[in-house]
């Protein structure tokens, strides 16, 4: 007996041209963690991979023709058992752990330092083939566009029965607000903000991690092999609507609670802008290290969450850059606070391609229900951001997709100022500080 949908699963070894159909597949992806896939194959098929596929060759996995993710075959990726074989695949992102670089930057832009790191990777088979920034790609997916397209999708789906137009607009507006908040936490101006870095015999991945921490952004590799820098929510690939009675995505479980945010405010500090201070007065009589920009970001109307202060100063010197970084840190904290999970029955879902393509940063809108006796439980829906996806396919259990989600407030606010620690004074900007000194 075979799973009736097993024929729709394909593992494609890009360079060698080998395409295989696994007996079982276990795949998981999570924001800020490496994706992973494990496939059970006939012993002969697994042996073929071990013999003909080179280590670090790029691999794609698809369901029903829809690409799910991009991987590579690690050196120890094939295990042969008596009657079958196991092939483990690593996230293409992990290829950046190969190689080493040593370089110091006193004043380098985000775009330039990321480009340098990308060019130093050891990736002969091109598991990653290019680098892009969501700030460059996000202009067409800002709030109004996401809201409109999401609303149109909900209204156009005949399987979805929402209680009223206000529900549609509420979910769509929240989805647009999520994309908007992510976009404004990383704009095109951010690409050219200067910072300093000192890399000494570290892998490209370690170097990139330091850059992410400095600017409050994330990196990931998509199914086409593009290394992205920014926030996944700003350019959601999928905006998915779900109804408990719908057939598009068949809902098995809904285990999501609308808890208040754990972190209400984030405060970060930057580095002294010596160039901005220079020429206005004698630097030798001023303790310039105690004059720096501070950025804050918060969730309006919330007073229950923690206030997180990033103690280690960022190397960002521009006031606006520090403010943008604060928003990025706040979003990261909020998304780390898991709200729950949604479980789908893949075989019973008609929109199998949509389910297969779900990835961190996508937006899922779920219709609320009031409950209907024994047939339907009460469900408090809303718009949620995908944090983690776990697909399990086997002949015994069919196809189960567990999607962990988090809520994202749509109205994140922020500000920044110049702080003089010598007298605990705040100034609206550097010019205001110089005018008083």
Predicted local confidence at residue 312, as pLDDT: 84
| Confidence category of residue 146, pLDDT binned at 50, 70, 90 | low
Question: Among 24-28, 162-166, 250-254, which range has the highest average pLDDT?
Answer: 24-28
Residue 420 pLDDT > 80, yes or no?
A: yes
| Confidence category of residue 17, pLDDT binned at 50, 70, 90 | very high
Predicted local confidence at residue 181, as pLDDT: 54
Q: Any bridge partners for residue 414, and if so which?
A: 297
Asked if residue 394 lies in contact with residue 24, where contact means CB atoms within 8 angstroms, the answer is yes
Residue 45 pLDDT > 90, yes or no?
A: yes
Predicted local confidence at residue 190, as pLDDT: 59
Residue whose entry in the numeric block shows the structure tokens 């959601």: 236
Q: What is the pLDDT of residues 298-327, one digit of tens each?
A: 988 777 778 999 888 887 878 888 888 888
d(CA 130, CA 228): 9
| Token code pair at residue 18 | 């080998």
Question: What does the mean pLDDT of the chain come to?
Answer: 80
d(CA 314, CA 269): 6
Query: Which is higher by pLDDT, 82 or 142?
Result: 82
Predicted local confidence at residue 209, as pLDDT: 95
Asked if residue 378 lies in contact with residue 369, where contact means CB atoms within 8 angstroms, the answer is yes
d(CA 259, CA 407): 9
**What Å distances lie between residue 181 and 9, 104, 234, CA to CA?**
36, 33, 8
Q: What percentage of the chain has pLDDT greater than the value 70? A: 73
Query: Which is higher by pLDDT, 146 or 210?
Result: 210
CATH 2.30.300.10 fits 6-92, yes or no: yes
d(CA 70, CA 59): 6
CA 111 to chain centre: 18
* CA angle, residues 46, 96, 111, in degrees to nearest 5: 145
Query: Which is higher by pLDDT, 403 or 135?
Result: 403
Q: Where are the domains of the chain?
A: 6-92, 263-335+412-435
């Amino acid at each position: 007996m075979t799973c009736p949908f097993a024929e729709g699963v394909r593992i494609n070894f890009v360079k060698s041209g080998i395409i295989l159909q696994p007996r079982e597949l276990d795949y998981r992806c999570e924001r800020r963690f490496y994706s992973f896939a494990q496939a059970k194959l006939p012993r002969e098929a697994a042996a073929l991979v071990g013999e003909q596929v080179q280590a670090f060759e790029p691999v794609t996995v698809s369901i029903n023709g829809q690409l799910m993710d991009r991987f590579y075959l690690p050196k120890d990726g094939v295990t042969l058992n008596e009657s079958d074989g196991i092939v483990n695949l690593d996230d293409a992102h992990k290829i950046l752990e190969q190689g080493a670089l040593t370089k110091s930057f006193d004043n380098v832009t985000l775009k330039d330092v990321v480009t340098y790191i990308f060019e130093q990777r050891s990736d002969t088979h091109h598991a990653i083939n290019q680098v892009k920034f969501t700030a460059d790609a996000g202009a067409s997916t800002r709030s109004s566009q996401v809201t409109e397209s999401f609303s149109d999708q909900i209204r156009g789906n005949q399987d979805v029965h929402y209680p009223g137009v206000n529900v549609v607009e509420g979910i769509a507006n929240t989805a647009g607000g999520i994309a908007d908040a992510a976009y404004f936490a990383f704009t095109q101006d951010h690409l050219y903000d200067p910072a300093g870095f000192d890399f000494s015999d570290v892998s490209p991945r370690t170097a990139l991690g330091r850059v992410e921490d400095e600017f409050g952004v994330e990196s990931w590799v998509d199914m086409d092999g593009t290394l992205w820098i920014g926030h996944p929510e700003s350019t959601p690939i999928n905006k998915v609507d779900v109804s408990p009675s719908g057939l598009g995505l068949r809902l098995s479980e809904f285990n999501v609670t609308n808890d208040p945010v754990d972190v209400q405010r984030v405060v970060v500090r930057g580095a002294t802008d010596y160039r901005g201070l220079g020429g206005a007065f004698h630097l030798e009589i001023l303790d310039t290290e105690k004059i720096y920009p501070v950025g804050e970001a918060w969730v309006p109307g919330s007073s229950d969450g923690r206030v997180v202060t990033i103690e280690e100063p960022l190397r960002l010197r521009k006031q606006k850059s520090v403010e943008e970084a604060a928003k990025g840190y706040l979003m990261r904290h909020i998304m780390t606070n898991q709200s729950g999970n949604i479980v789908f029955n893949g075989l019973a879902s008609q929109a199998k391609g949509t389910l297969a393509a779900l990835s961190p940063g996508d937006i899922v809108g779920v219709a609320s229900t009031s409950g209907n006796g024994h047939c339907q439980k009460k469900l408090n829906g809303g718009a949620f951001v995908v944090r983690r996806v776990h697909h399990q396919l086997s002949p015994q259990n069919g196809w189960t997709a567990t999607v962990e989600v988090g809520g994202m407030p749509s109205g994140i606010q922020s500000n920044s100022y110049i702080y003089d620690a010598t007298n605990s004074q705040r100034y609206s900007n550097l010019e205001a500080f110089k005018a008083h000194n």
